[in-house]
Amino acid sequence: MKQSALGDGLTVSSIGLGAMGMSAFYGPTDEAEAIATLQHAVDIGVTFIDTAEAYGPFENEKLIGRALGSRRDEITIATKASSETDDDGTVHGRNGTPEYIRRACERSLRHLGMDVIDLYYLHRVDPKVPIEESVGALADLVREGKVRHIGLSEASAPTLRRAHAVHPIAAVQSEFSLFARDMLHNDEKATADELGIGVVAFSPLGRGTLTSGIRSLDELAPEDARRGLPRFQPEAFAANRRLVERVESVARERGATVAQVALAWVLSEGVVPIPGTRKRARLDENAGAAEIALSYEERMRLADAVPVAEVVGSRDGIDAEVGVDR
């Protein structure tokens, strides 16, 4: 697996693995297959593993600890301080206070069964707390040796600048795919590049839309959280599937899958994708994208195949207030 540089001296596998769906949001889970997938990821070099206290809550971090605790030195673990969550799983609102960030970090370390977190994100900016205070708390964790690098998720360009002035930010994580290109138009990507901050893309496959795996809403489990998202409503899904069919034509010519060319496009923008999957076969498919070098013409054809103005539905209905500091 190729490697990609983020910021603050952090290097990760060019394709990462988002582990969220192994424990939450996407319907029934299979722990045995999840553990096998996590271990297989390390075997093939997909060693950048992304989780958060919110996934479960807590269950995803515990799963990763069980699956990969014995292979700690082979992996780069990223997790996040999310909305304030009690130990019993009760979730409150955003909390970016130093007190909560410290408590969340200590708890994540226990759940992971590890003594240091490689990349620790503030999951969402708390509009009630100056970003300088939140980042100051993250910086203290670095100085104490509990965290190696820090990051933000869904942060605006001005917030990135203020945060980076307090302590080097290694990465900013945002949704980014052929279906979601906000960061190219709101200065977030340009600012990150200027400051030497790496960019990590969650949902780089449009929450499964940009794959061959979901061709009908009937394929989603009844409790799958995507059923509540704007882009997964019947009319929106049908319209967006027509855009995916255009991507399929480019993929066929390249001898690749839709997912592979979609991920290769993200990589070509200088962004590290962390596609989520719960199965080894999909993991192998996603990892293959790192070997695809798109030509300029192919990159333009893929971008033109999915005009932003033709994507139906807003990108995130689970957290409608992403980037409130924007």
Percentages (nearest 5) of helix, strand, coil residues in the chain = 45, 15, 40
- Percent of the chain whose predicted confidence (pLDDT) is above 70: 97
CB contact set of 198 (below 8 Å; sequence gap of 6+): 4, 5, 6, 7, 10, 170, 171, 172, 192, 272
Residue among 171, 172, 166 at smallest CA distance from 137: 166
| Average pLDDT of span 117-132 | 97
Q: Does the structure show a pLDDT above 70 at 324? A: no
Q: Where along the chain do its domains lie?
A: 3-310
What is the reported pLDDT for 325?
A: 46
Strands 171-175 and 198-202: parallel
| Average pLDDT of span 238-262 | 96
Average pLDDT, the chain: 94
Strands 3-5 and 11-13: antiparallel
In the three-class reduction of DSSP (H, G, I as helix; E, B as strand; rest coil), residue 199 is classed as strand
The pLDDT tens digits for 31-90 are 999 999 999 999 999 999 999 999 999 999 999 999 999 999 999 999 999 889 899 989
Sign of the CA dihedral with 172 first, then 176, 181, and 184 last = positive
What is the reported pLDDT for 213?
A: 79
Catalytic residue ranges: 55
Phi, psi of 173 (to 5 degrees): -110, 130
Please tell us whether the domain made up of 3-310 is placed in CATH 3.40.50.300. Answer: no
